[in-house]
Structure 1
Amino acid sequence: MQTLIHDSSVEWTELGAGIRRKVMAFDDQMMLVKVAFEPGAVGTLHQHPHTQASYVSKGVFDITIDGKTQRLSAGDVYFVPSGEVHGAVCIEKGELIDVFTPMREDFV
C-alpha cells in the first residue's frame, strides 16, 4: 500500500464512451478513484454494495440517485448509500473523485 501518491505516477484506464478512471489509492477498507468524463458521457445507472461519496472536482453533471436527478457542478458532493441505484450524465467536461468503502475489488 502506498501512502503518498503522485497523480503523474498513476495511469488512466480507458473505459470507453468518453470515460476513463485512475485508481489512486486503496486498502481493504477504502478506495479513492478519479473518473474523467467527456461531455455527453454517461455513467449508466447501476448499484453496488459499497457506500460511495463523490466530489465533483471539475465540470457539470446530472446525477441520479434513487430516481431523483439534480445538476451538480465543481465543488458539489453526492452520497450513495449501499445498494442504491445511481448514475451520472456529463453536461460539461468534468471529473469526479469517488471514495468507496469497502474498496472495489472489481476495479483492481
Structure 2
Amino acid sequence: MIDISKIKEKEIMEGFKGRFIHTEYSTLAFWEIKKGSILPLHSHIHEQTTQVLEGKLELTVGEETNVYEKGFVAVIPPNIPHSGIALTNCRVLDTFSPVREDYKKFGRE
C-alpha cells in the first residue's frame, strides 16, 4: 500500500508540484498546479492520460483545445504535441506508459 501524502513533493517546473509512483510499466504523477501555470508545448514517447481531480485545466492536444474539470480525462497519444494552462488551482493525476525514466529521479519507485 502506498500513502501518496508520504511521498515527497517536488516542483518540476514553476507552478507544478508533483509526487511520483513508478511501476514496472507505468508512472503515476499526482500534481498540484498553481493557477496561471503554463505547461509548455512538448511531446514524448509515452501514452499519457490526464485526469483532473479538482479545478479547471485547459489542454491543447494536437490541434484540439478543451477545458477539463473534475471527472474529465484527456488521452494523449505518444509523440503528439500538447500544452496547457491551469485556469484555477488544480489537482491532476497523469499516467504515463511506458515508465517515465526521466521522472524516476523525482520520486518513489
- Per the normalisation by structure 2, the TM-score is 0.90
SS of the residue corresponding to residue 52 of structure 1 reads strand
Gaps of 5+ in 2: 105-109
- 1:6 aligned partner: 3
| Cα displacement (A) at 1:32 | 0.8
Q: Which moved more, 1:26-35 or 1:88-97?
A: 26-35
SS of the residue corresponding to residue 107 of structure 1 reads helix
Q: Does 1:92 align with 2:57?
A: no
Q: Which runs of 4+ in 1 moved over 3 A?
A: none
* CA RMSD, Structure 1 to Structure 2 (Å): 1.0
Distance 1:96 1:77 in 2: 10
Identity of paired residues, percent? 24
- 2:103 aligned partner: 107
- 2:67 aligned partner: 71
Aligned residues: 104
| Cα displacement (A) at 1:46 | 0.5
Gaps of 5+ in 1: none
